[in-house]
Structure 1
């Protein structure tokens, strides 16, 4: 049974933003263009949380587009709501251009630290980013999603927060999922539990695809000009049980995704290549953890990935999931991994600040955010900066392309 506070239901509890039937359309144009392109009016889908996903074609590379979203009740109704925004498109693979993007992870709704949301978003909005990546745990279902309606409620309340709404209306954004925004902590397909009530693992996969701007597979790669290509990977859909003994048959990525990753990395001629993973590949991680590539639970597949990355030029790893900031260098392969850290101080933790290990190049048990700058000057320069939640620079890693 699911109980709400007396006098409340799913449509009236704190953070509720219940959907309605209606129609929406988009108007968009590149900056400097006076002519708007307009999509047809489309009905929202009540079975997909009253959402509608548009796929825009014919966009020019390396442009900033202005966007207007309009809504009405039905085909006879007047426009009752509008929202303005913008987004940038990637430069083509022949264009050499400085690129700046940011990454965040571990976003707990109870851990808001700013009126209307989170401190990191006003700071990031001021940077004129080219794009943003959320590396998983966008929301936390664990204690607040015991059926599908409650799962939708988690997305509604998070993305109606003023800081989040303002930021994502202005910045091209990519999203990965991890355990908490799939189902619950350390979850995988087939685990037996009554903890999540009526809400199932497969429903978690379905809801994520409905809520997020994803066209095909949840693992994908994007080229941003001559000097940068990123890989976003899927760590839940194809995962073996965490409890399974490690070996050649145990996987997080699955055979198809691993082959895709190796093939597309080999095909890339980008100066810098970045794997952005929802979970660590290098670590170090806590000795009690057994659910990612950096520890013994999935060591075999982790070694395959590390060996492959070590043979690439200028390839780095960015990871979510860990609630502390770090930069580490694998002592065996020399691969550098950047842990973003949680998006608020209240949500940080999980490591002892005094536990500085030889592989650590930087360690800070604190919340914040990370930016990555790719500069084509001098053959290519990567700069990775960790910031506090207030936007104070805490550390910078800088390296020339080799």
Structure 2
């Protein structure tokens, strides 16, 4: 039987093995033996993996592996249940070509339950099969057995408001703070990039100090071309904290508005923004979605590759429902329509019916709805329109009608233990939705936890809408706070969820940039 090693032991060795300057004999000395893929010591000629690797969209027995190389090459993945790879399996994957910006992915299947999986990615040159990249190593844990604890983190908002990679600050440090908690997986709640927020080389802070960003051509203007959208993802992957995190923590990724443009909606025409030569948002969204799907370790839907909403069963304790509140919405408006129509669409009817059916069929104790926008916080789009569901106090109107329908369905079908996780507003909060304090009362009480930003300006707090009776139980920023507070202030946040394997108690906590817990609550299942 193969000797078992911890993920940490594996990753210590992986740091050595991933260097392109290490030749085959050094890899052997580091314990990397029995590989079906030969290594040749010609680093200048063989393919490279400059932006690391990632895993995602885990199921009971599978996971997506993602990477990017620098030339036409074929992806090769080797995986095993111990870091020495003595009993490894090898998979020949897809070809990375210019059409996909040299990104590639494959799905590992037949994985064991509740076990660490160690993997390494190489790329084989298409013109010369002897030219194979040095390996880049990663690991993840598969869905645990019944009775095992589950821990995951979530957050959103990366590289926004001009706060980019500052080497003097240590880069995007919050990703390292999340990694240190050793989560089973990570939910990125949207705004994975800020395609509409250019990065400048220097930003003067309020105290007179200078924030210095790494800059690239694609991040120096708003994204309009496919190359520029891709460049936003490449920019984030320049950060060593992000790459290390990606190699160790599987991801479930959704999008929001900044993957394209602030507050966008389908069929929008850009007005009063001279930064954009491309005024048709549908064209921008097509390019931006292509880049998102290329760079996210996401399992593409065979019948509809562009579909982003999906669900993941994480065993008897947990199922996660990943929403898309961007693709199917109507135009941002005053949002006060008394009846449902195409104008009031937010999730859209097809996604809403899918969510209701998945919740109805769910047998897991906890049902986590991963939402790219919060429910009861008012988010305006200009002086007259609303970006979110909430439109001000009172009975459900406009987009609120969809959520009222969903909440009524959950109650009428006695679906318990539904928790909402989200980001978007650039501060952390805990909200309790109480029907006794709501204008619409036909729903079970529930919790919503908002977190962020991961690496962006801090804002908030937002005004509450009493339609569904939200109560603020925690807020990371007080009323009257300054807006667009830089990361140097330390007001960057992420959330963590722990589900006890025996009691099924869910503990939800918020952490700050330094990895310090600032709020925590225990939720007992009903």
TM-score range, shorter chain: 0.7 to 0.9
Indicate if the aligned counterparts of 1:188 and 1:239 stay in contact, CA closer than 8 A: yes
Distance 1:158 1:307, change over 3 A: same
Distance 1:180 1:209, change over 3 A: same
The Cα offsets for residues 211-267 of structure 1, whole Å up to 9 and x where unpaired, read as 212221311111222111111111122121113853312212121111111111111
Q: Secondary structure at the match of 2:399?
A: helix
The Cα offsets for residues 327-364 of structure 1, whole Å up to 9 and x where unpaired, read as 111232422110012114x51113279xxx97101111
- Distance in 1 between the 2:402 and 2:524 partners? 29
Distance 1:73 1:256, change over 3 A: same
Shift, 1:305, TM fit: 2.5
Does 2:279 match 1:188?
no
Q: Secondary structure at the match of 2:363?
A: coil
- Distance in 1 between the 2:86 and 2:372 partners? 40
Does 2:454 match 1:374?
no
The Cα offsets for residues 307-335 of structure 1, whole Å up to 9 and x where unpaired, read as 33454211111112111111111232422
Indicate if the aligned counterparts of 2:377 and 2:462 stay in contact, CA closer than 8 A: no
| Alignment-derived partner of residue 73 in structure 1 | 125
| Alignment-derived partner of residue 159 in structure 1 | 237
Q: Secondary structure at the match of 1:347?
A: coil
| Alignment-derived partner of residue 388 in structure 2 | 292
Does 2:187 match 1:133?
yes
Q: 1:110-121, aligned counterparts within 5 Å?
A: 110-112=162-164, 115=167, 117-121=171-175
Q: What is the aligned-residue RMSD (CA, Å)?
A: 2.7
Q: Secondary structure at the match of 1:263?
A: helix
What are structure 1's unaligned runs of at least 5 residues?
A: 1-14
The TM-score normalised by the length of structure 2 is 0.67
Structure 1 runs, 4 residues or longer, greater than 6 Å off = none
| Alignment-derived partner of residue 288 in structure 2 | 204
Distance 1:300 1:28, change over 3 A: same
Distance 1:72 1:313, change over 3 A: same
Moved more, 107-116 or 171-180: 107-116
Distance 1:196 1:211, change over 3 A: farther
Larger radius of gyration between Structure 1 and Structure 2: 2
Indicate if the aligned counterparts of 1:309 and 1:335 stay in contact, CA closer than 8 A: no
Q: Secondary structure at the match of 2:123?
A: strand
- Distance in 2 between the 1:24 and 1:168 partners? 18
Pairing partner for 2:312 from 222, 244, 257: 222
The TM-score normalised by the length of structure 1 is 0.87
Shift, 1:393, TM fit: 0.6
Does 2:485 match 1:386?
no
Does 2:81 match 1:30?
yes
Shift, 1:18, TM fit: 9.2
User: Aligned residue pairs: how many?
Assistant: 380
- Distance in 2 between the 1:327 and 1:20 partners? 46
Q: Secondary structure at the match of 1:401?
A: coil
